[in-house]
């Protein structure tokens, strides 16, 4: 995307930004640019007005990734996503303690925050917060932050309580989240503000407590009933024994994996809070690496993403379509109608007949559809509009849609299904269809057969 950035987009010389791709560019580049933007469109529609809580450690700041993260977050906000940012500060607290010649004390991996350590934590959090606010306030022309104008709200949104004495060890000012003031955060989000939370909380007695970013982010996501919790971490995500990244984990599988005790400590910690958020009603929690530039954009706007996503339900759901799916169905089949693979269907007809469709949805976006038109008298059904989005093809979704249509047909007492195809003959032959002729079609369908298109008729016995 960076290569398409238009250096001429200058706030001083033009009040309305120019398009990001120059019309002088190579036509192939332009076509790719348009394809890319269109591919992102379903996600933009799906994510508008959704609430995402994004938590990141102080390690991201130390690695010099703050500016790019803020730019990506500004872009998400401009797309209508409501964002709560939660920052950590572990390395910065360490640094502050080193400067004061203090040494950190831990018990069972948890910091013991005495009074001087609390001062270090306050100092570190204050410094990072100012850095984040400064980064968010940028608006230089010719940068992705031009025209961003984001206003940030921080405050005493988190009520804390002390961890207390565990195994005889008093953790002093180390705390855990007791409550999040979701109403106030929601109000700020509704007013178009970006909410920024630091890893500190306050008790009703006025004491400050040192909290973990992971705890605040998960608790805030649960309290807000956020749509996503995203941890941007120093790890690549969750990997299995062979070192392969686990892209999707159902909550139960993630819980079982944690119980094996084989995960690295930091991954276990993120995953623990991700699971807690999912159990608390957050539909998806993501662990993505900050080492990859733009990882949050890749995770959100591509089918496979870049890290690990934990979900409390089976992520890819195959279900019957509803009226809300009409736009998604049209978007799926339009390119295939344009290239002649599918016959063009009247949009009103799709709207009227949407209950004939089954769809596959992945994280709120449709990736596949198919329709069944029964001819009850002849006990045969037409399978139509079978489509899987190009980026999701080859992973069995086509087959799952076919199976669903077979189930639906059987449930209606049909004993055969047919399909008319010009380009996908072999896919159907491999799945039990046999060649037939136009004469084998039910009478009403035969009359509508388009002799110019010369589609093949394939029939499958159920
Ligand atoms: C046909 C289609 C629905 C299959 O979806 P899918 O999710 O990729 O299907 P699956 O993952 O279940 O199957 C993939 C297999 O089908 C094969 N395949 C895909 N398109 C094919 C075609 N036009 N002809 C023959 N085989 C095809 C793939 O090569 C792959 O083979 P493999 O398993 O041996 O590697 C999808 O390719 C599509 O949407 N195509 C465009 C629309 C279309 O032609 N629809 C049918 C209109 S009648």
Q: Is the CB of 363 under 6 A from ligand 1?
A: no
Rounded CA-CA distance 93/87 in Å is 13
Question: For 45-54, what is the mean pLDDT?
Answer: 95
Pick from 258, 186, 173: nearest CA to 220: 186
Lowest mean pLDDT among 4-8, 320-324, 348-352: 4-8
Per-residue pLDDT tens over the stretch 189-198: 999 999 999 9
| Superfamily name and number for 317-461 | Gcn5-related N-acetyltransferase (GNAT) (3.40.630.30)
Task: Tell me which residue has its CA closest to atom 14 in ligand 1.
Answer: 394
For the chain, give the mean pLDDT: 89
φ, ψ of residue 282 to 5 degrees: the values are -85, 120
pLDDT class of 96 with cuts at 50, 70, 90? very high
The ligand 1 atom nearest the CA atom of 421 = 48
For 373-392, what is each residue's pLDDT tens digit?
A: 999 999 999 999 999 998 88
pLDDT score of 9:
36
Eight-class DSSP state of 2: G
Is residue 459 scored above 80 in pLDDT? Answer: yes
Asked if pLDDT for residue 16 goes beyond 70, the answer is no
Topology match between the domains 25-314 and 317-461: no
The answer, yes or no, to whether any atom of ligand 1 lies below 6 A from the CB of 386, is yes
Q: What DSSP designation does 20 have? A: S
Instruction: Look at residue 5 and tell me whether its pLDDT is greater than 80.
Output: no
* 395 Cβ inside 6 Å of ligand 1: yes
Q: What is the pLDDT of residue 1?
A: 33
Please compute the mean of the pLDDT values over residues 155-184 and round it to a whole number. 93
Q: In the chain, where are the structural domains located?
A: 25-314, 317-461
Per-residue pLDDT at 10: 35
How far apart are the CA of 329 and the centre of ligand 1, in A? 18
> Which atom from ligand 1 is nearest to the alpha carbon of 388?
39
Q: What is the pLDDT of residue 172?
A: 93
- Res. 327: pLDDT tops 80: yes
DSSP letters for 379-393 = TEEEEEEEEE-GGGT
Residue closest to 20 by CA, chosen among 200, 142, 184, 111: 142
pLDDT at position 304, please?
77
pLDDT in tens, 252-264: 889 889 989 899 9
Comparison of pLDDT for 110 and 90, the residue scoring more: 90
Between 171 and 6, whose confidence is greater? 171
Q: Please check the confidence at residue 23 and state whether its pLDDT lies above 70.
A: no
Q: How remote is the CA of residue 53 from the centroid of ligand 1, in Å?
A: 37
423 lines ligand 1 (CB under 6 A): yes
In angstroms, rounded to a whole number, what is the distance separating the alpha carbons of residues 189 and 222? 16
Ligand 1 pocket mutation pick from 424, 428, 431, 453 by most atoms within 8 angstroms of CB? 424
% pLDDT > 70, the chain? 94
Distance (angstroms) between ligand 1 centre and the Cα of 402 equals 11
pLDDT of residue 316: 63
Atom of ligand 1 minimally distant from the CA of 384? 48
pLDDT digits (tens, 9 = 90+) for 265-298: 999 999 999 999 998 889 899 999 999 999 999 9
- What's the pLDDT band for 143 if we cut at 50, 70, 90? confident
| Ligand 1 contact via 394 beta carbon (within 6 Å) | yes
Helix (H, G, I), strand (E, B) or coil at 54: strand
Average pLDDT over residues 37-66: 93
Task: Dump pLDDT digits (tens) for 98-130.
Answer: 999 998 888 877 889 999 999 999 999 999 999
pLDDT digits (tens, 9 = 90+) for 416-429: 999 999 889 999 99
Supply the residue whose CA is at minimum distance from atom 28 of ligand 1: 394
Global pTM exceeds 0.95: no
Report the alpha-carbon distance of residue 344 to residue 341 in Å, rounded: 9
Q: 25-314 maps to which CATH number?
A: 3.40.1160.10
Could you tell me if the CB of 399 is within 6 A of ligand 1? yes
Is the CB of 453 within 6 Å of ligand 1?
Answer: no
Q: Could you report the per-residue pLDDT of 423-455, keeping only the tens digit for each? A: 899 999 999 999 999 999 999 999 999 998 899
Say how far apart CA 282 and CA 227 lie, in whole Å.
6
pLDDT at 14 over 60: no
Would you say residue 362 has pLDDT above 90? Answer: no
Helices (H), 325-442: 326-338, 347-352, 397-411, 425-429
CB 305 less than 6 A from any atom of ligand 1: no
Ligand 1 centroid distance, CA of 424 (Å): 7
Q: How far apart are CA 77 and CA 67, in angstroms?
A: 15
The confidence score (pLDDT) of residue 356 equals 97
Q: What distances in angstroms separate CA 89 from CA 99, 182, 271, 352, one per listed residue? A: 15, 23, 19, 55
Give the residue, by CA position, lying nearest to ligand 1 atom 15.
394
Q: Is the CB of 396 under 6 A from ligand 1?
A: yes
Per-residue confidence (pLDDT) for residue 89, from 0 to 100: 95
Ligand 1 atom 40 nearest Cα: 387
Residue 20 pLDDT level (bands cut at 50, 70, 90): low
């Amino acid at each position: 995307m960076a290569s398409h950035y238009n250096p001429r987009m200058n706030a001083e010389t033009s009040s309305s930004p120019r398009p990001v791709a120059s019309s002088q560019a190579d036509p192939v580049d332009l076509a790719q640019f348009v394809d890319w933007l269109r591919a992102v469109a379903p996600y933009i529609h799906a994510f508008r007005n959704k609430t995402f809580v994004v938590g990141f450690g102080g390690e991201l700041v130390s690695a010099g990734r703050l500016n790019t993260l803020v730019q990506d977050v500004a872009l998400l906000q401009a797309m209508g996503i409501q964002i709560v940012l939660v920052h950590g500060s572990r390395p910065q607290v360490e640094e502050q303690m080193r400067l004061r010649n203090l040494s950190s004390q831990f018990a069972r991996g948890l910091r013991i925050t005495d009074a001087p350590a609390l001062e270090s934590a306050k100092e570190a959090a204050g410094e990072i917060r100012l850095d984040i606010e400064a980064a968010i306030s940028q608006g230089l022309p010719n940068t992705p932050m031009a025209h961003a104008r984001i206003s940030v709200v921080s405050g005493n949104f988190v009520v804390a309580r002390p961890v207390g004495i565990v195994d005889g060890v008093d953790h002093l000012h180390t705390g855990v989240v007791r409550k999040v003031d979701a109403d106030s955060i929601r109000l700020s989000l509704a007013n178009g503000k970006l909410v920024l939370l630091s890893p500190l909380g306050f008790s009703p007695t006025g004491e400050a407590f040192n909290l973990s970013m992971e705890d605040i982010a998960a608790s805030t996501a649960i309290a807000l009933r956020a749509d996503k919790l995203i941890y941007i971490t120093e790890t690549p995500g969750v990997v299995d024994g062979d070192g392969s990244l686990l892209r999707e984990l159902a909550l139960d599988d993630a819980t079982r994996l944690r119980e094996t005790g084989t995960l690295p400590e930091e991954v276990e910690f993120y995953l623990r809070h991700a699971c807690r958020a999912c159990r608390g009603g957050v539909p998806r929690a993501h662990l993505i690496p900050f080492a990859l530039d733009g990882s949050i954009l890749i995770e959100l706007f591509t089918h496979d993403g870049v890290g690990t996503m934990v979900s409390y339900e089976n992520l890819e759901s195959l279900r019957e379509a509803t009226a809300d799916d009409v736009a998604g169905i049209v978007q799926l089949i339009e390119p295939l109608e344009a290239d002649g693979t599918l016959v063009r269907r009247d949009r009103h007809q799709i709207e009227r007949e949407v209950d004939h469709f089954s769809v596959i949805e992945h994280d709120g976006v449709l990736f596949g559809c198919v329709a069944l038109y029964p001819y009850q008298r002849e006990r045969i059904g037409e399978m139509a509009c079978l489509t899987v989005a190009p980026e999701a093809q080859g992973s069995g979704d086509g087959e799952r849609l076919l199976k669903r249509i077979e189930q639906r047909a059987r449930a209606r007492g049909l004993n055969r299904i047919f399909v008319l195809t010009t380009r996908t003959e072999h896919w159907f032959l491999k799945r039990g269809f046999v060649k037939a002729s136009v004469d084998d079609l039910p009478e009403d369908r035969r009359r509508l057969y388009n002799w110019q298109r010369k589609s093949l008729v394939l029939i499958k016995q159920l």
